Amino acid sequence: MKRVMLNKDVLHGNQVQANHNRMLFVQHSLLTINVMSSPGSGKTTFLERTIQCLKAQWRMAVIEGDLATSLDAERIASCGVEVIQINTHGACHLTSSMISSVLPTFDLSELDLVVIENVGNLVCPADFDLGEHLRVTLLSTPEGTDKIVKYPSVFQSSDAVILNKVDLLPYVPFDLKQFHQSLKEINPNVATFLVSALKGEGMDQWIHWLQNQQAKIKKANGRELT
Amino acid sequence: MKRVMLNKDVLHGNQVQANHNRMLFVQHSLLTINVMSSPGSGKTTFLERTIQCLKAQWRMAVIEGDLATSLDAERIASCGVEVIQINTHGACHLTSSMISSVLPTFDLSELDLVVIENVGNLVCPADFDLGEHLRVTLLSTPEGTDKIVKYPSVFQSSDAVILNKVDLLPYVPFDLKQFHQSLKEINPNVATFLVSALKGEGMDQWIHWLQNQQAKIKKANGRELT
């Protein structure tokens, strides 16, 4: 019983800070996405491609969450955007407080998009709101179709699901029909995109969707300000 | 500070029960392995192959840990061995108490091997001793070489690391030399096996190693009993 109450406290504390973060993002008309997946689904490669596609139009910053190393942050920095690394040292997910502690390093009024790359984990990140506008979950084809029903929480709470590594479809037992069916049952309104971040295939639709989401936020804020 | 202390309590409580479990396994000269990996690395397919290889010689039981569904337990049951499913309903790892609660369903004196398939997660399972003799971690080639340094704890604490999906090596950017180098730096004595569980390649060496581990346990118990 004690443990359940503590868990509620932790989640409540996280939610309060997440709401603060969200307010800050909204004030700056700043689209923020929380990118989640298993280790090795290709989050960093997918973000590198996304940055390449949007760099000419948008000012972006990336918050990198990892247990250890700054390998991903170095990769992102070499794309020419602002990046900060959070090392969780054992914690299997980011929290809203970790995010708020690094936000002062950015000038939010100068940015159009903040990307948070969560720790590679399909379980706990789903429970922790970071204040993001959108949750984006990657699944890669070698992981198999059954991950959607086996790890339902992260897929249920996602605004977009990216199926990555579609270039490997001829070599792995992945059932595309089942992928769409499982998502339809668990989260009928989720946006889905089939990409190969490594080869650069299928990024256009994703970029177009992201631009639309950003336009919606700017428009909503415009209405509020008038 | 409070959170750190609680964490210590949780880990201490887990360790006490893990020691009990281990004593029980030793009493029955029963080899027990804790199999860990990211979601989708191929743990269940690898176990299906292992069971096929050993079925004629060994009596085996499998404990399946998953957030939701009994999909993996059904696959393992169809191999003709005893299996029990633990659904963690949100918890991102198994604990020693979860294991002890299901052990009475097996007649331990009738078994040679108990396999515990942990929840797909490269982070928290590493912190929770279940009482196993051996920790076996799978990494699959599409996940990339950098996972060893990015998720060090699980690889440091492993007795064996299985590189799975080697049939995909021609199609993915995986650096085999770096794989061996990273493991050597982080865990120089770990046993490594390169397999394709899907295609059945490379299983012989793993099976031979497992048989040796079981022989050691029987021999140690024989000495104690005389």
DSSP chain B: -HHHHHHHHHHHHHHHHHHHHHHHHHHTT-EEEEEE-STTS-HHHHHHHHHHHHTTT--EEEEEEESS-SHHHHHHHTTTSEEEEEE-TT-SS--HHHHHHHGGGS-GGG-SEEEEE--S-SSGGGG---S-SEEEEEEEGGG-TTHHHHSHHHHHT-SEEEEE-GGGGGGS---HHHHHHHHHHH-TT-EEEE-BTTTTBTHHHHHHHHHHHHHHHHHHHHHHH-
Residue B87 C-alpha, separation from nearest chain A C-alpha, in angstroms: 10
pLDDT of A222 reads 76
pLDDT of B104 reads 96
pTM of structure: 0.94
Which of B48, B143, B169, B196 has the most A C-beta neighbours within 10 Å, making it the best mutation to test the interface with A?
A: B143
pLDDT of A151 reads 96
Q: What is the pLDDT along chain A (226 residues), one digit of tens a residue?
A: 233 344 678 889 999 999 999 999 999 999 999 999 999 999 999 999 999 999 999 999 999 999 999 999 999 999 999 999 999 988 999 999 999 999 999 999 999 999 999 999 999 999 999 999 999 999 999 999 999 999 999 999 999 999 999 999 999 999 999 999 999 999 999 999 999 999 999 999 999 999 999 999 888 877 655 4
pLDDT of A224 reads 59
pLDDT of B218 reads 87
pLDDT at residue B1 is higher than 90: no
Instruction: Indicate the angle between helix axes B203-225 and B43-54, nearest 10 degrees.
Output: 60
Q: What is the CATH number of domain A2-225?
A: 3.40.50.300
* Tens-place pLDDT, residues B69-88: 999 999 999 999 999 999 99
pLDDT band at B223 (very low <50, low <70, confident <90, very high): low
Pairs of CB atoms within 8 A across A/B:
110
pLDDT of A7 reads 67
pLDDT of A6 reads 46
pLDDT at residue B2 is higher than 50: no
pLDDT at residue B3 is higher than 50: no
Query: In this complex, which of B92, B124, B151 lies closest to A39 when CB atoms are compared?
Result: B151
Query: In this complex, which of B6, B90, B149 lies closest to A69 when CB atoms are compared?
Result: B149
What span, in angstroms and rounded, lies between the C-alpha atoms of B92 and B70?
Answer: 16
pLDDT at residue B4 is higher than 50: no
Query: In this complex, which of B66, B68, B171 lies closest to A171 when CB atoms are compared?
Result: B171
Contact between residue B66 and residue B85 where contact means Cβ atoms under 8 Å apart: yes
Are B67 and A6 in contact (CB < 8 Å)? no
Q: Is the ipTM of this complex over 0.95?
A: no
Candidates A119, A169, A179; CA nearest to A145 is A179
Read off the pLDDT of each residue in B92-107 and give the average, rounded to a whole number: 96
What are the boundaries of each domain within chain A? Answer: 2-225
Residue A47 C-alpha, separation from nearest chain B C-alpha, in angstroms: 16
Which of B36, B92, B156 has the most A C-beta neighbours within 10 Å, making it the best mutation to test the interface with A?
A: B92
Query: In this complex, which of A68, A146, A168 lies closest to B171 when CB atoms are compared?
Result: A168
pLDDT of A9 reads 80
